[in-house]
Structure 1
């Protein structure tokens, strides 16, 4: 059961929200300040004039570097913190999973913590009683439910917190990086439940450093930097600006193509063209398993050695394969005034569908260091049909099959499919 907002109004409206914190170098400075009446702290503005609204059934991702204000924003929305300025209008019950341990008491048992935490997010005694068994079943902690929470691992605490929040019948579900804790199987279970919640008309505010999950889960993304909203729009565009931030490239940095904000960098060395070729020459359509070359036609204003990279994404924007010369333990040299072609050769062992190729030139194994050129979706191609063995899933992995009597278990005879 989900508690819905009324009259189609946004479930969450945030207007000019600001939050500051006093930072003391020493614990004793707080006491000294109270007696001396002289400031012994500095002020950190975690959020500054943040405004946006979250509609019914909408999923918004919140991106930003460490310290950008993401967790502070979610704590304000959930009521853990109070704002210094601005307003938050909530319509319906909002539940969330923030930092591990928020709202829990280590001295209490898991059973008691369910009751306490559920009360904190607005559930009634009747609702808690009705959903208790479902909460425990989802958390998979029945064996430990009467043990003190202090004996739980961080992954177990995350399980309990998520199970309570998702069964609270919220109109909006907020999720912080706490989902990164725990085993991969349970993370997948949580993400599946979040998708089901969204598909049923629930709203989501989702913070993650996992760009792929934001692209898949969210309709919209907000990018925070220095406590301010620097972008609010499509997740793909937010991701590109985020990549620029982590690479230390500001909005005034040169672009290889002014009409395309997806191409940027110092550009002292740059890619001018990208060409994909198969067995019949340059093409944009290939068979799964076909051998192709990806040629990066480059030019340089400097004598330099750089890492050259490619990144292939599917139609959802998910990274499906990437490599570069640093990872391949190869060297790429460029000289001023001369052009050079950098070629990658590979089998496109991908499922049928449409893909993009992003290319990059940088000084290390990632574009975070000395990004000369990052060109997102520099080329596109399509996989149509299979050249060799058909398969299910995203990519082909060579597989073998064998059948033999149990008594020969130690020496099986393998036959390649």
Structure 2
């Protein structure tokens, strides 16, 4: 595969001063009056033609810094960036716009800043305007735009600039669902035309949907690189660790898909259809998902939950006992089962069951055990009416003459 970007041993260190006067004192007195903050520490990775690379990490992990270095907005303290083609970046909202100019005028201003010629801007202006769906607002000053309107214009210019590498940093989180879906479709189309994309988002499902590979940053370091599902599992572990003040949460057997304090442990997950008596289940068939649990200590106000995911790792359905107002109590050295019984009104395909035991409504609070891929199952065939898509919603249909 052809490399379009090479990130080699990038380190970025910021000097933190208490005040501007300390900067002057450091220059003239030749003494150190700053502290160093390492935003990126020896980060290396490659991006290939037609690939979509996701970057995730908790706030302060160094994501925005590495993107700015790749885009050429800021320089690294050490290391090297090799770009093999035009790079266009959607970073901070509104960057590259003049608030006093109209949207139309900003197409030429912003387009020129990201490497388009004036002729290119003129040739593609109609397509850009059509994609934005801004209508007559395109002739209004940018200062009258909402954040969503600015995002529409910035994304449209970026996508029609036809870069070799497009950097998208949380841009799709601004604006309405319709335009976000339109942007996602446009990214997929450009990817098929061999455009490479670096995509940063806190929307884990969109990362699974769009990305071929994901890297995880933590405290300025690249700690994992691999498939979206594998890296996102590690990210979930890091999120759980944020609230772990007593350092009780750990990984089981070096697999990030199983982590927690293990005060309560999920020892097994079994899913069976009531008709098939196996994990090969028809759509619409009632299935039982049984979680086998062992409690090592006495705990109260706990929650037991499940999540069904498709073969791409997309969340299809999730629920837990908290949402059903069930107060779960555990006794020490005691075994339990928790069974979810429901008709599987989902489309044909291969799925997995993720299970968790924690307090409150999600695993961020006292996570006893998170278990990904606790069980696999397949949906084949349909009981009842045929349908198209991921779920069957059982509508009532009325047809009459008016």
Q: How would you bin the TM-score normalised by the shorter chain?
A: over 0.9
TM-score by length of 1: 0.90
Give me the CA root mean square deviation: 2.1
Could you say which residue in structure 2 is the equivalent of 1:188?
A: 181
Whether the 8 Å contact between 2:249 and 2:367 is mirrored in structure 1 is no
Q: How does 1:331-346 map to 2 (within 5 A)?
A: 331-346=327-342
- What are the superposed Cα offsets for residues 118-167 of structure 1, whole Å, 9 maximum, x if unpaired? 11111112211111111111111241122111111100100110011111
Corresponding residue for 1:3? none
SS of 1:327 mapped into structure 2:
helix
SS at match of 2:367: coil
Gaps of 5+ in 1: 1-7, 407-417
Q: How many Å apart are 1:38 and its aligned residue? A: 5.8
Q: Does 1:365 align with 2:361?
A: yes
1:19-51: CA deviations, max 9, x gaps? 122344557766776677665543321111111
Aligned partners of 1:271, 1:206: CA distance in 2, in Å? 34
Q: Contact 2:248–2:261 (CA<8 Å) still a contact in 1?
A: no
Please show how residues 346-361 of structure 1 align to structure 2 within 5 Å. Answer: 346-361=342-357
**1:100 counterpart = 2:93:** yes
> Does structure 1 retain, via aligned residues, the 8 Å contact 2:275–2:285?
no
Deviations 1:154-198 (A, max 9, x none): 001001100111111111111010210011000000010000011
Partner of 2:294: 299
1:389 paired with 2:392, answer: no
Q: 1:13-412 to 2 correspondence within 5 Å?
A: 13-24=6-17, 41-248=34-241, 254-256=250-252, 258=253, 260-280=255-275, 282-305=277-300, 306-406=302-402
Structure 1 position 255, deviation (Å): 4.2
Say which SS state the counterpart of residue 346 (structure 2) adopts. Answer: coil
Taking a change above 3 Å as real, the CA distance of residues 147 and 47 of structure 1, as seen in their structure-2 partners, is same
Are residues 259 and 75 of structure 1, via their aligned partners in 2, closer, same or farther at CA, if it must alter by over 3 Å?
closer
- Cα distance in 2 for residues equivalent to 1:331 and 1:27: 56
**Cα deviations across residues 243-268 of structure 1 (Å, max 9, x unaligned)?**
11000089995444x27441121111
* 3-state SS in 2 of match to 1:302: coil
Q: Deviation at 1:382?
A: 0.9
The CA distance in 1 between the partners of 2:313 and 2:146, in whole Å, is: 34
User: Take 2:275 and 2:400, find their aligned partners in 1: how far apart are those partners?
Assistant: 43
8 Å Cα contact 1:275-1:282 kept in structure 2: no
Tell me which moved more, 377-386 or 327-336.
Answer: 327-336
Deviation of 1:277 (Å): 2.8
Structure 2 distance, partners of 1:330, 1:281, is 30
Residues of 1 paired with 2:18 and 2:158: CA distance? 36
Contact in 2 for aligned 1:255/1:267 (Cα 8 Å): no
3-state SS, counterpart of residue 43 of structure 1: strand
Distance 1:9 1:390 in 2: 44
How far apart in 2 are the matches of 1:324 and 1:230?
Answer: 31
Farther off after superposition, 371-380 or 99-108: 99-108
User: Structure 1 residues 22, 321: CA separation in 2 closer, same or farther (over 3 Å shift)?
Assistant: same
| Count of residue correspondences | 398
CA drift at 1:402: 1.2
Aligned-residue offset at 1:307: 0.8
Task: Give 1:280 deviation, angstroms.
Answer: 4.0
Matched residue SS, 2:139: coil
Identify unmatched segments of 5+ residues in structure 2.
none
